[in-house]
Amino acid sequence: MQFNLKFFKMRYPSLFVIFCLFFPLIAHSQDTLYRSNGKVVPVVLVKVDTTSITYKQAGDTSSLIYIIDRTFVSKIVYSNGQTKNFAPSTQTGLNPMSASPGYKSDTLRNNISLNLFNLCFGLVTFNYERFLGPGNFSFKVPLTIGFNKSDPSEYYDSPNNNYTDVLFSTGCGIFFYPAISGKTKFYAGVSLEFGKDRDINNYVSNIYENIWVYSALVKSGVAFRLSTHMFISLDAGLGIGLQHYNFSGDGNYHYSTSEAIFDYEGGINIGYKF
- Domains 5-98 and 110-273 belong to one CATH topology: no
Residue 28: is its pLDDT beyond 90?
A: no
For residue 257, pLDDT beyond 80: yes
More confident residue, 237 or 182: 237
How far apart are the C-alpha atoms of 171 and 191, rounded to whole Å? Answer: 7
pLDDT tens digit string along 77-121? 998 888 988 876 544 433 433 333 433 445 678 999 999 999 998
Question: Given this model, what pLDDT does residue 251 score?
Answer: 66
Fold of 5-98: SH3 type barrels. (2.30.30)
Q: Are 149 and 36 in contact (CB under 8 A)?
A: no
Structural domain boundaries in the chain = 5-98, 110-273
Query: Each residue of 124-135: b (16+ CB within 10 Å) or e?
Result: ebbbebebeeeb
Q: Which of 140, 166, 158, 146 is nearest to 223 (CA)?
A: 140
pLDDT digits over 130-183, tens only? 988 666 889 999 999 998 876 655 655 555 556 778 899 999 999 998 865 567
Closest to 46 in 3D by CA, of 27, 36, 26, 60: 60
Q: Does domain 110-273 match CATH 2.40.160.20?
A: yes
| Cβ count within 10 A of residue 269 | 23
What is the C-alpha separation between 211 and 241, in angstroms, rounded?
13
